[in-house]
Structure 1
Amino acid sequence: MSSTTGHGTTAGADGGTQRRYLRRVTWVATLGGLLFGFDTGVINGALPFMVDDLGLTAFTEGLVASSLVFGAAFGALAGGRLADAYGRRRMIIVLAVIFLVGTLGSALAPGVTVMVASRLVLGLAVGGASVMVPIFLAELSPAARRGQVVTRNELMIVTGQLLAFSTSALLGGLFGDSHGIWRWMLVLATLPAIGLWIGMHFVPESPRWLAGHGDFGVALRVLQRLRTAVVARQEYEEVRSMALEDREREDGGFRDLREPWLRRIFLVGLGLAVIQQITGVNSIMYYGTQILVVAGFGTQAALTANIANGVISVAATFVGIWLLGRVGRRPMLLVGQIGTTSALLAIGLVSLLVPEGTARGFLILSLTVTFLAFQQGAISPVTWLMLSEIFPMRLRGLGMGAAVFVLWMVNFAVSLSFPILMDAITISNTFFVFVVLGVAAIVFARRYVPETRGRTLEELEHEFKSAAGTPRR
């Protein structure tokens, strides 16, 4: 029997105490994902109320929406390196403070300049969380359950977006005529930020990070809290062996990309980041209310209807988590890309051919829901999971940080350009652009994305080396 099968079978037999402890740690850490989702989704409902208060133009509207994303790109790039240097747990605690500061700054902003600056700060926290939380969860998880554990962060992201849509619709419906109601929409994010800061003081550091920094005894004790005794010892020996092998080299850096197998994995990671975003998902998550208004809904009706996008995102993520325990990552990614591209094509055609009005509004709403079912049920959970898996330990923070930097920069380009494109070439032609990009994403996924299901992180590293012809030490 192969070691892969052995790890999968044994890890699934963790004792109840260890499973419950891992579950508690997971829910605490994924408050970072909840903040990620809330802070990216709340702008959807808050923007219509900001326009008059802050005097927004089409350009400054795009700037307010995209400034968080721009900051997130650099938060992700720095976050990976900082997590490698100072530890995953310690840096998530720091992120909770940055979340709090950025949220208060944006909620109290007197004008566009302070709003953009505060959302840049908030973006640093969102970007850092998008790197650190999946890495942290992947390094804590047993191989057989890594898919389900890591993708709970995606569940929390879409739950945060649903909370943002719902609270914005509620506040907008009850107090829409009140001056500055958008400030109350934004300030709600302080609550999970405080919860994350408190909760992370009661969870352990990643055993793989500890081993990589020579704290083998502490790493073993952490594993013993997360696994049964036999499994903890077996996994510890594997982690220790890989850590000692990596310590023979200097700390990982871009110079390591001279090795062909590392360069290939690095480029695949960047590609995964790009194809997750060029579906145009965040055009719907950030501007869903405006899309529905253009389609034929009134502002308040669009705010309420937009909740459907949040609901389907949460429901689809539950399905995605279930599928990841039973289906390979690569086929899920391909099905998701085909589904989203088809839905975008249909949105473009409906926008072009159906007259403006309630019927067109409901057709586009049903198609955005279909789009999000494929995006949040397949593409997003697979992308975040695979980015946390494919990079070797010595390059995990750097590799994921660089990949997520690219992801956020593509997100920034989409969120900044979407309202400008809608104004310049109409909504239908804007979605046709995303269809062309979706076809390119399908080709990339089919040709270059590997399968990672059922392997430990250490086994994946050895497999990638072997596939490139690099001898195992």
Structure 2
Amino acid sequence: MPDTTLSNCVRDAATQAAGLPRRRSVPVSLIAAVAALGGLLFGYDTGIISAALLFIGDTFALDDTVKQIVTAAIVAGALVGCLAAGPAADRLGRRLGIILSATIFAVGSIASAYAGSPLTLVASRLLLGLAVGAVTQVIPVYIAELAPAARRGSMVVLFQLAIVGGILASTIVGWWLGGSGNWRLMFALGVVPAAVLLASMPFLPESPRYFVLKDRLAEAFAILRDVRGSEAEAAAELEAILAQPREDGSWALLFSPKIRPALIAGMGVAMFSQITGTNATIYYAPTILASAGFGAGAALATQLAIGVTIVIATIIGLSVVDRWGRRTLMLRFLPVAAISLVLLSVSFIGGNPTGAARYTAAAGLFGYEIFNIGSISVAIWLVGAEVFPLAIRGKGMSMVALSHWLFDLIVSLTTLTLVAKLGTAGAFGLFALINAAAWLFVWRAVPETKGRSLEEIEASLNEGRFARH
């Protein structure tokens, strides 16, 4: 589009925006924090199963296979939810997508709490999975499209901080209700953050880039003006968005050679965030540690410590992601994660650790959580929300979320079997090698997006210089 035409479009949008009703301005940092509550729901509903599994067997007869199915049900639902959320968010809007997800969260939490059989419990967890998958697609995109480039990293990472905060909350609830074994109340408490998100989202603006996608330029300008606090900044940003080529946004474009580097980067980071072992410890740490002789009570205490550790790790990553950059953060932290897993693996050689070896194992476990979650888990939703062009951002983020949930499902179905076949030392040794492979992938395929606008990233993809370092 010629510069004069662009300027005229922006000028017309500004004129029309002046006639629109003014919404009460909400700081973009508050918008990001409220939207990130969807991550709290994600974290709580995926994390609470670790404690609940210790007590559900008192109500229903569950063998290891059924326990793994109950655990994996939410992930299976998420596979469907994330794929449906992309096209839905492009058609209905990012904000409405979040509202619908919060509604499903509330219904699924209540249904899980009142489940009368293993089958209805699995069905309820599948329903929750639809919402979990949807928020992993729509919330990072929503925040990324509203945030200024200089602070986009930390704002999108608020979603991951909410996820690990939800996991910590689930651990605390499991600890609190462990004495009574009230697993139904554990599930029911998921309604609380869902209600808060539902009550808050109607007061937040839609993504301005979604309005550009729908050719509603006046509304896009009005939102940019309100969140940037300046008509000049709003005009410059809108012009930059409009300057990018307008494409059809089809699935065929997403899988075209031009977009392939972004697809590899986004889906690859998502894959490695799962197969490097993070969720294996979150899902099964109490069970693994109990079988290693720590006892159920000590295992839950360790899970609580892990919850605190991953929150601290995420805060560390959030604090440096806009200063160091996404790529640099992963390249600095992943080697330490691999070394920590080697330490953990060595502790289990010859059998369960005893005496001082238990402290070595704990140090390796917590070191791994800090440096893995503080890097690749911090970057997963951020990289995915940044690298795709506007026309296919919804579909692209669906594929990133699909990669995350597909490999999460594989991990949740195979971790106990992997430990049984390889032993604890062998399993953690394998995860150490995969962390090293993740470092190589980031070094080769992931670009640095620090401080660049979404449109600058899109231009680099269109011009064939996306992954140049």
- Alignment correspondent of 2:233: 231
CA positional deviation for 1:168: 0.6
Correspondences of 1:153-302 after superposition (within 5 Å): 153-173=159-179, 175-176=180-181, 181-229=182-230, 230-242=232-244, 245-246=245-246, 249-250=247-248, 252-257=249-254, 259-302=256-299
1:452 and 2:449 equivalent? Answer: yes
- Partner amino acid, structure 2, of 1:143: A
Contact 1:296–1:357, Cα closer than 8 Å, also in 2: no
In 2, the alpha carbon distance for the partners of 1:104 and 1:268 equals 37
Question: Does residue 1:134 correspond to 2:140, yes or no?
Answer: yes
Query: What SS class does the counterpart of residue 309 from structure 1 fall into?
Result: helix
Which residue is equivalent to 2:106? Answer: 100
Q: Deviations over 1:283-328 (max 9, x none)?
A: 1111121122133322112112211111111111111111112102
- Report deviation, 1:21: 1.6
RMSD across aligned C-alpha pairs, in angstroms?
Answer: 1.9
Aligned equivalent of 1:380: 377
Partner of 2:54: 48
1:279 and 1:340 in contact (8 A); partners too: no
Large movers: runs of 4+ above 6 Å: none
Please state how far the C-alpha of 1:351 moved relative to its aligned partner: 1.5
Q: Deviations over 1:418-467 (max 9, x none)?
A: 12222333222222232232232222111111111111000111112223
Counterpart contact for 2:82–2:401, Cα < 8 Å: yes
In 2, the alpha carbon distance for the partners of 1:361 and 1:398 equals 45
Shift of 1:357: 4.4
Structure 2 unaligned residues grouped into runs of 5+: 1-23
CA contact (8 A) 2:343 2:364 kept: yes
Match of 1:119? 125
Deviation at 1:338, TM superposition (A): 1.7
Q: Is the 8 A contact 1:296 1:361 kept in 2?
A: no
Q: 2:360 maps to which residue? A: 363
Percentage of identical aligned residues:
37
What amino acid maps onto 1:212 in structure 2?
Answer: L
| Residues 468 and 334 of structure 1: CA distance in aligned 2, closer, same or farther (over 3 Å) | closer
Aligned pair in 2 of structure 1 residues 102, 424: CA closer, same or farther (>3 Å)? same
The secondary structure found in structure 2 opposite 1:272 is: helix
Matched, 1:328 2:325: yes
- Structure 2 CA distance, aligned partners of 1:258 and 1:428? 39
Cα offset, 1:378, TM superposition: 1.2
- What CA distance in whole angstroms lies between the structure 1 residues aligned with 2:463 and 2:352? 57
Structure-2 change in CA distance of 1:75 and 1:460 (3 Å): same
The Cα offsets for residues 246-300 of structure 1, whole Å up to 9 and x where unpaired, read as 1xx32x1222146432122212222121111111111111112112213332211
3-state DSSP class of the match of 2:324?
coil
Q: How far apart are residue 366 of structure 1 and its match?
A: 2.7
Structure-2 residue corresponding to 1:62: 68
Structure 1: tracts of 5 or more residues without a match: 1-17
Equivalents in 1 of 2:243, 2:439: separation in Å? 38
What is the TM-score when the length of structure 2 is the normalising length?
0.90
Determine if contact 1:295/1:364 at 8 Å carries over to the other structure: no
Distance 1:369 1:20, change over 3 A: farther
- Residue 102 and residue 265 in structure 1: after superposition, are their counterparts in 2 closer, same or farther (change >3 A)? same
Give the aligned partner of residue 437 of structure 2: 440
> In the TM superposition, what is the alpha-carbon distance from 1:238 to its structure 2 partner?
1.5
Q: 3-state SS of the aligned residue for 2:452?
A: coil
**Alignment partners' CA distance in 2, 1:151 and 1:198:** 22
Q: Normalising by the residue count of structure 1, what TM-score does the alignment of the two structures yield?
A: 0.89
Q: Taking structure 1 as reference, are residues 105 and 149 closer, same or farther at Cα in structure 2, changes over 3 Å only?
A: same
> Which of 150, 159, 163 is matched with 1:144 structurally?
150
Partner of 2:300: 303
Give the alignment partner of residue 90 of structure 2, picking from 80, 84, 95. 84
Q: Contact 1:292/1:364 (CA < 8 Å) preserved in 2? A: no
Q: Distance in 2 between the 1:187 and 1:257 partners?
A: 39
SS in 1 for 2:215: coil
Aligned partners of 2:302, 2:256: CA distance in 1, in Å? 51
